[in-house]
Structure formats: C-alpha cells, structure tokens
A and B are shown apart, each in its own frame.
Chain A
Amino acid sequence: MKLDISLAPETLFYIGSVAISNSFFWLLVLTFFILVGVFFLNRSLKMRPGKVQNVFEMLLAGAFDFVETTVGSKSLAQKTFPLVFTLFFFILVSNLITFIPGQAAVTIETAGGVVPLFRAIIADYSLVFMMTMLSVLITQIVAIYVAGPFRYLGRFLNFTSPLNFFLGLMDLIGEVAKVMSLSFRLFGNIFAGEVLGAVMLFLFPFFLPLPFAFLGLLTAVVQAFVFAVLTLVFISMAATVSEESEAA
C-alpha cells in the first residue's frame, strides 16, 4: 500500500477546457445544501420558535454578542456580523462534513486514473486563498473608506522622517503578510489533519486514528473560529485605528 497524498486537488472531468476538480465539485454540492437548508429554515421562521429555530437563534445571538464585545459598538457589529458569521459557518460546516465516515472510499474512474470523488474543500489552497483575499480586501476597503484615500496612503508612504518612512514600509509588508499568515494557518491545519489521519490509518488501522480524529475535530472548530475572529479583528482595527490617528 502506498500513501496517496497530493497538495493539488484531483481533476474529475473537463467542461470545455475548464478542469473540474473534486474539491470544486464538493464545494458546489456543499453550497447547494447550505443554501437549501437556510432557505427552508428561513421559510419556517415563526414568532414562537420550534426546536431547530431555537438552536439557531441561540447560536446567532451568542455569536452576535461576541462580535459586539470584540468590535465595541453595536452599529459596527451589525455591519461586520453577516460577513464574519458566514465565513465562520461555511468553514465550520465544510470542516465538519469531512468527518462523515466512508467518503474517502468513494472513488471515480477518470482519464488520469482512479481519484476520490470527495475531498476536504479547505484542504484546497485556492479556495482558502480566495477567502483570505476577500477578507483582506474588505479590510483595505474599510480602511480607505474610514480614513480617506490620502491618509490611507500616508500611513504607508510617510516622508516626514527616515524612521517614519521605514515604519510605513513595515506596515505595508505587514498588510501583505496578512494574506499569507491567514491563509496558511487555515489551509495548513486542515491539510495536515488529513495527512495525519491518512498516515495514522496506514500505521495501525481503526484504533490509532481515533485520538487524532478527535484532535482534528477540535482543530476544525477552532480554526473556523480563528479565521472569522481574525477577519473581525482586522476589520475593526481598520475602522478604529484611523479614528485614533484623527484625534492625534
């Protein structure tokens, strides 16, 4: 038996010249189910909540309270909450869904050999990169909107003294490094979890992977939380730091 691990997702089939990978296919399936689930949940909302609605209301209210205490004001929380909670919920669901047993066994015959039909979608770097770019770009847009374009540029290109110029350049590098740190953290954790599970299964089947599966479960929840919270912190920093420099 040979361990079969690849960084890039496997191609299932082609539409025209566009390769459809297994992670992309799985992403579409998952998005469809989330949308349908939310649609029916939305349709069945009542003033006197049932069991499902109660659970979701508690979850949402708790999350909103957490966002409010983090950003510090209710209006800002109302603006950032939809994005942050969507990111959290999507990453959480797509991580947890990989713990349904047996899906790695479903394979499909393609031109490039036998490949698994499903793949943990967070273990595909392109999706994580897109989500990170989304979060970082929104942070920059908020910063530009709050500070105005000139003061925003002035943060990075400061010619008042050599030290300020150097610090401005460091700020610029810091902004670019956000993309790497945020995306590698999520991708690395989930992909490493997959690889770890495969290696442990290879060493001693059925029993040895169990504690690592539990660790993976913890990682799945914590990383979804961390990604969302860091996005939130970046946005709230972009919205408030500029106000402070205005006062100074």
Chain B
Amino acid sequence: MEVEAAKYIAAGLAIGLGAIGPGIGEGIAASKALEAIGRNPEASGKITPLMFVAMAITESTAIYALVVTLIILFA
C-alpha cells in the first residue's frame, strides 16, 4: 500500500472510531438534561450551561481523535 493511501485510511479510522464513544456520551448527557428540564422546567436556566460544560468535556476524547487526524493529514 502506498504511504499516502495508508495515511488517508488511518485518518478516517482515527476520527471515525474516536467519534463513537463521545457521540453516545453526549447523547446520554442531552437526554438526561432534557428529562430533568421536563420534570422541572424552572431549573432549565441552571441545567443548560452545566449540560454544555459536561458535553464539552465529554467531547474532548473526540477532539483528541480529531487532533490526531489533523496531524496525520496536514503535518
């Protein structure tokens, strides 16, 4: 296999596999937050920013995969 082709496959695999976990995790965070808001709509102002922070932290593993992908592609 050529090096160039292997690079593209590696980049695709890295971000594709790396996005699975955070995708599930963010879905769980969003569903729980929406559930909580549904039970107690007055608390939405408190829940929403916390949900965003939690999601941003959950997302970070996907971001690591993305950084690796970008390094493979462009560096």
Contacts and interface: CB of A to CB of B under 8 A. Distances in A.
A98 interface: no
Chain A interface, DSSP helix/strand/loop, else mixed: helix
A226 B52 CA distance: 9
A211 B62 CA distance: 20
B67 A223 contact: no
B1 interface: no
A152 interface: no
Given A188-B67, A192-B66, A7 B56 contact: no
Of the candidates A187, A195, A226, the one having the most CB atoms from chain B within 10 angstroms of its own CB is A226
Chain B interface extent, by class: 10 to 19
Contact of A7 (B53, B57, B64, B71): B71
Nearest to B71: A7
A184 to B, nearest CB: 6
Contacts, number: 46
A54 interface: no
A181 interface: yes
A188 B74 contact: no
Nearest to A180: B64
Contacts of A8: 75
Interface in A160-216: 181, 184-185, 187-189, 191-192, 195
Given A7-B71, A7-B74, A191-B70, A184 B60 contact: yes
Nearest to B62: A188
A6 to B, nearest CB: 6
A222 B56 contact: yes
Contacts of A229: 53
A225 interface: yes
A5 interface: yes
A226 B53 contact: yes
B33 interface: no
Contacts of A5: 70, 74
A210 to B, nearest CB: 21
B63 A184 contact: yes
A195 B63 contact: no
Given A5-B74, A7-B75, A192 B63 contact: yes
B71 A188 contact: no
Interface string A217-247: 0000011011001100000000000000000
Contact of A6 (B53, B57, B74): B74
Interface string B10-54: 000000000000000000000000000000000000000100110
Contacts of A195: 70
Given A7-B75, A222-B52, A229-B53, A185 B70 contact: no
Given A184-B64, A222-B52, A230-B57, 13 more contacts: A5-B74, A7-B74, A185-B56, A185-B59, A185-B60, A187-B67, A188-B67, A189-B56, A191-B70, A192-B70, A195-B70, A225-B52, A226-B57
